[in-house]
Amino acid sequence: MEQIELTYPAKRKIPKRAHVGVVGSGDMEVLLEPAEGAVAHVFIRTSVDGFGASWKAVLDRFFAKYDGAARIQINDAGGTPGIAQLRLEQAVEVSEQ
Amino acid sequence: MFHSEPHSVRTHDLLEIDANQLIDARASAPQWVEECLRRSPFVVVRRGRVTDQEIPVGVRGEGRNQRWATFCQQKFVRSILAPPQLLRRTVPMSRANVIPAFRALNVLKDRWTDLDLPWGPGGSVGFELATGTLVSNEQSDLDIVIYADTRMTVDEAKSLCARTMELSAVADIRVETLVCGFSLQEFACTSSPRILLRYAEGLRLGDDPWGGWVNMMETAS
């Protein structure tokens, strides 16, 4: 079990919270909530240790496009970077709908 | 020339294989893979494209992180065990006594008697029922596969999910259609218009698990 925290700049408030995904094996859930200020905080709790650089690469790529002030909690049960990318996309879709 | 039909296998099936042939063909395999296969010559079919020659498979080791992905030639396969066949196997009392996931399977069989789709155990519970190798432990989830070739409604999914509450182990349920796999829980409970669909070609978000693969460009690796 490993906990990773990342912070990114944000430019706008987001409309509402979103909860997507499941914590079953090989999958992950993402909780995205509106936050105060011009910053986004990401908290990752993963069952697989030693992939900090991969997580940072996925989140860097996500925040290259996303500018919402959010608190994002990711609970990972051995998912892949591909799943992380889709779960984040799905959370934004629900949050903005 | 003699031509044999390829075996019909699906994701999650367990294959009994000729271990010597697979080991000889895969010189790059870690040492533990060879030891595991010699003890218990079974591999699990991974999601991916099955060809006339090869099947994507995984080797399960004893450690939690011991998984090895490879390809197995069709001609190395001795027999195929699908999760619904494993459902008919009796859980040994000695295992049900110590492993919550086995107790959960027995309870779920009673709760899902009206489910007329084929279903059965995958993951460590399925592997253990197939091979007799003691790979499950007290923390093991109960992995379940349901085969829904035709459309399942959200209400049907909700009803199945509701009956997995308060089992002795967490039930992780994958629904397999003819084209992809998805989480029963996500399908039943999500607020999202699209869910995570797992195709042989890759992952995508979609709203129709029974529809075809639409846009390869949306594939994520």
Q: Which of B186, B193, B221 sits opposite A22 (nearest CB)?
A: B186
pTM of the full structure: 0.90
| Domain end residue (candidates: B27, B48, B81) | B81
Q: Do the interacting molecules here have an ipTM over 0.85? A: yes
Q: Answer yes or no: do B143 and B38 share one domain.
A: no
Query: What pLDDT is stored for residue B146 in this prediction?
Result: 98
Instruction: Report yes or no on B6 lying in a domain.
Output: no
- DSSP labels for A31-79? EEEE-SSSEEEEEEEESS-S-HHHHHHHHHHHHTT--B-EEEEEEESS-
Q: Answer yes or no: do B87 and B73 share one domain.
A: no
Q: Answer yes or no: do B30 and B76 share one domain.
A: yes
pLDDT in tens, A51-68: 999 999 999 999 999 999
Q: Answer yes or no: do B107 and B201 share one domain.
A: yes
How many domains are there within chain A?
1
Instruction: Report yes or no on B188 lying in a domain.
Output: yes
Query: What pLDDT is stored for residue B214 in this prediction?
Result: 54
Q: Do B196 and A18 touch (CB under 8 A)?
A: no
Helix (H) or strand (E) holding A87: helix A81-96
Q: Answer yes or no: do B189 and B92 share one domain.
A: yes
Q: Do B220 and A21 touch (CB under 8 A)?
A: no
Q: Which of A22, A80, A90 sits opposite B194 (nearest CB)?
A: A90
Closest CA to B143 of A26, A60, A16: A26
Question: For position A56, which CATH number holds?
Answer: 3.30.230
pLDDT in tens, B165-208: 999 999 999 999 999 999 999 999 988 889 999 999 999 999 99
Q: Answer yes or no: do B97 and B185 share one domain.
A: yes
Query: What pLDDT is stored for residue B140 in this prediction?
Result: 92
For residue B71, what are the domain limits?
14-81
Q: Do A86 and B193 touch (CB under 8 A)?
A: no
A85 touches B: beta carbon within 8 Å: yes
pLDDT in tens, B40-86: 999 999 999 999 999 999 999 877 668 899 999 999 999 999 999 99
Instruction: Report yes or no on B7 lying in a domain.
Output: no
Q: Answer yes or no: do B106 and B43 share one domain.
A: no
Instruction: Report yes or no on B44 lying in a domain.
Output: yes
Instruction: Report yes or no on B125 lying in a domain.
Output: yes
How many domains are there within chain B?
2
